Amino acid sequence: MNDTNTGTSVTPPSGRFGNWRTIVFIALCLLLAGNVLVPLWRNPPVPGPKSFDAGVQKDKGFADVVGQIDAAFEKEWQAANVRPTPAAPPLTVARRLSLGLTGTLPSLEEIRILEQQPPEQITQWWLTKLFEDRRYSDYLAERFARVYVGVENGPFLIYRRHRMVDWLSTEIQKNRPYSEVVRELITANGIWTTQPEVNFITVTVDQNDKKKGPDEVKLAGRVSRAFLGVRLDCVQCHDDFMGGSWQQKDFHQLAAFFAPAEMSLTGVQDSKKLKYEFRYHGKMEDQVVFPKVPFRQELLPTEGALRERLAKWVTHPENLAFARTTVNRIWALMFNRPLVEPIDDIPLEGKYPPGMEILAQDLVAHNYDLQRLIRLIAATRAFQIDSTTRDDEHHVTDGHEKLYASFPVTRLRPEQVAGGVIQASSLRTLDAEAHIFWKLNRFFQQGDFVKRYGDIGEDEFNQRSGTIPQRLLLMNGKLVDERSDENIVMNASTRIASLAPDDASAVETAYLCALTRRPTAEEQSYFVELLKGIKGKARFKVMEDLYWSLLNATEFSWNH
């Protein structure tokens, strides 16, 4: 080609690379390789939290509440003559928090920066980092949405589940008072696309019945279970014949609060003309049912629209049923097991498990601050203790787990297993800041795995034993196979085999990625011996087998 200024011919370099395009291609490949083959043992590139306050756990009010909860559990342990297990290692606690609040494991990058923190600050530092991570709010939003609207797609034309989940995630990320979020759900008006909270109402509409608007019965059932922890829908068809005090009218009087909600050209709106009618068990005709709350009637406002009055009653500071239900659900997320089982059947009166009333009252006192509630639970001895004992003379029994004298060992839910496999097989943190390629890959792989593994749905805290197909899916399924085989770009096993400075470091890194702990001396010795002197393809194969073994270990699929 010609230079326009001199008129001389400019010839691209020739020889080994041939032309400029080849040079550019090779440069891009080298750039990609530099990005992929980064040194594994350098200072971690992930930043720490922006808003961490080391004084959070030193605050007297905070420490006093934790002390009260610990004392309540200690009293139970002494009464049962149960000796609690020792404190769990910091990485174990971090693993629990990540699984409970993001549905995945800490990455190798996160583990490295986590271990640089003062031991006494690790839990609260890690929580601050999780709260700033969109994975936290997205995960909690999905868990709450299952309770609010279920897992089905609902009426196609007037329901957008994903919009409601996104809205919930944004509110949780802002740490908006939970009581305000719930009030918006109950009182929602407008179009389901522009007012995402309206989907709590529209999901109940039967599109085959054009004359019928939102289903008052379904909404009453959701409110009683999700927000009050009361299975009031059990008396939907008749009075409680099992010795309980609930009557059929209690449920339908609650349903009557939703009677004014109707579908219009402007979405969900209230109409004063609409009344709730129902034919009670044993009666011959329908009758108008007037709205009335099933308990603590004195807390119900006397003025305002029906749904607004109901929302204020549900979230009233003196209505501790709402606070207890919130505590029970957050506890369940963090322990994989609720304080009161079933999770949506909490007695209105009676003796409550240790810590429940203390946490409920603190939640009310601090304006339904979910982050504070999570911090309090994480700081308790019940959450911090190990799932096993190191004393050969004292063994963990079912009694220990029942009283939280040891951390209860529970099977991970499907999304936690999938999230764990995907993160464990990457040396990078797969968070909201990850490249869109990694996020899309994670989304499709996780969705496919959960579908095959078996999604429990709304009843996700009902502990069930594992099945043979589930074990086979982990052992022979596509996800584990693809995430452990030889792939220098995608998989940690291959990258560790290529870049680890020595065999011991390779084994340790694999254990940190998969199990969030270092190998025991016996484990280290065994796998180091397998890697000794092995190079090339054979080394990749050994690391692949090691990774496959770790991902299929019982320890990987359980919270402990």
Domain boundaries, the chain: 1-36, 152-314, 410-559
Q: For residue 23, name the pLDDT band (cuts at 50, 70, 90).
A: very low
Q: Looking at the whole model, is its pTM more than 0.85?
A: yes
Q: Which of 215-224, 369-378, 471-480, 500-509 has the lowest mean pLDDT?
A: 471-480
Q: What is the DSSP string of 488-512?
A: TTT-HHHHHHHH-SSHHHHHHHHHH
pLDDT for the residue numbered 6: 38
Average pLDDT over residues 368-378: 98
Average pLDDT in the chain: 85
Length of the chain: 560
Task: Report, in angstroms and rounded to the nearest whole number, the Rg of the chain calculated over CA atoms.
Answer: 28
If one counts every other C-beta atom within 10 angstroms of the C-beta of residue 445, the result is: 17
pLDDT for the residue numbered 199: 96
The model's pLDDT over 406-445, given as tens digits with 9 standing for 90+, comes to 999 999 988 998 899 889 988 888 887 776 766 677 676 7
DSSP state of 41: T
With a CB cutoff of 8 Å and minimum separation 6, the contacts of 178 are 326, 368, 369, 370
Q: Residue 274 is encoded by which pair of tokens?
A: 């609409």
CA distance 520 to 523: 5
pLDDT for the residue numbered 46: 72
With a CB cutoff of 8 Å and minimum separation 6, the contacts of 484 are 425, 491, 493, 544, 547, 548, 551
Task: Answer yes or no: are the C-beta atoms of 484 and 547 closer than 8 Å.
Answer: yes
| pLDDT over threshold 90, residue 515 | yes
| pLDDT over threshold 90, residue 243 | no
CA distance 57 to 67: 11
> 39 or 161: whose pLDDT is higher?
161
The model's pLDDT over 171-197, given as tens digits with 9 standing for 90+, comes to 999 999 999 999 999 999 999 999 999
| pLDDT over threshold 90, residue 146 | yes
pLDDT for the residue numbered 159: 94
| pLDDT over threshold 60, residue 12 | no
Q: Exposure of 208 by Cβ count < 10 A (0-12 exposed, 13-18 middle, 19+ buried)?
A: exposed
Average pLDDT over residues 231-258: 80
Q: Encode 238-273 in three state secondary structure.
A: CCCCCCCCCCHHHHHHHHHHHCCEEEECCEEEECCC
Average pLDDT over residues 324-345: 96
| pLDDT over threshold 70, residue 398 | yes
Q: Residue 520 is encoded by which pair of tokens?
A: 């025991």
